[in-house]
């Protein structure tokens, strides 16, 4: 709940199904959602959630609350158990705690996404 992972430099990939789900949640058309809340991904192969100039996700609200929490993209839901970056522990207290507790392994499995 610190919001650090919602402020890192990077991108949140968003699928067509997620666009449909998020637009419905926000009660706007998919076209309006794409215009207002997405940006072209770095690899130009799809869309990601729009980031503000300082790298903060456009959906991060007051007190670090995700304004689309119940329908947030799978990339957000999967962090840090399905993926994390090699330096997540530098930025994320939750990752440090989970590593210290042994809930997360320090080694990355061969198929782990990061």
Contact pattern from residue 2 through residue 21 relative to ligand SF4, giving x for each residue in contact according to CB under 6 A and a dash for the rest: ----x-----x---------
**First-last CA distance in the chain:** 21
Using CB under 6 A as the binding rule, the residues of this chain from 71 to 110 that contact ligand SF4 are: 72-73, 76
At 51 the three-state DSSP class reads strand
Paired residues of 113 in beta bridges:
83
Q: Tokens at residue 68, please?
A: 């689309």
Quote the tokens at residue 74: 């799978």
Q: Which is nearer to ligand SF4, 65 or 100 (CB)?
A: 65
Count residues near ligand SF4 (CB under 6 A): 11
Contact letters (x/-) for ligand SF4, 40-59, by CB under 6 A? ---------x-------x-x
């Amino acid at each position: 709940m610190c919001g650090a992972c919602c402020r890192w430099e990077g991108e949140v990939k968003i699928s067509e199904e997620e666009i449909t789900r998020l637009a419905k949640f926000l009660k706007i058309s998919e076209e309006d959602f794409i215009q207002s809340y997405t940006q072209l991904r770095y690899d130009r192969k799809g869309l990601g959630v729009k980031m503000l100039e300082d790298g903060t996700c456009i959906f991060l609200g007051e007190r670090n609350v995700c304004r689309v929490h119940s329908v947030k993209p799978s990339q957000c839901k999967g962090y840090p158990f399905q993926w994390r970056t090699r330096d997540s522990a530098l930025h994320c207290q939750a990752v440090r705690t989970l590593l210290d507790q042994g809930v997360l392994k320090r080694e990355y499995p061969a198929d782990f996404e990061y």
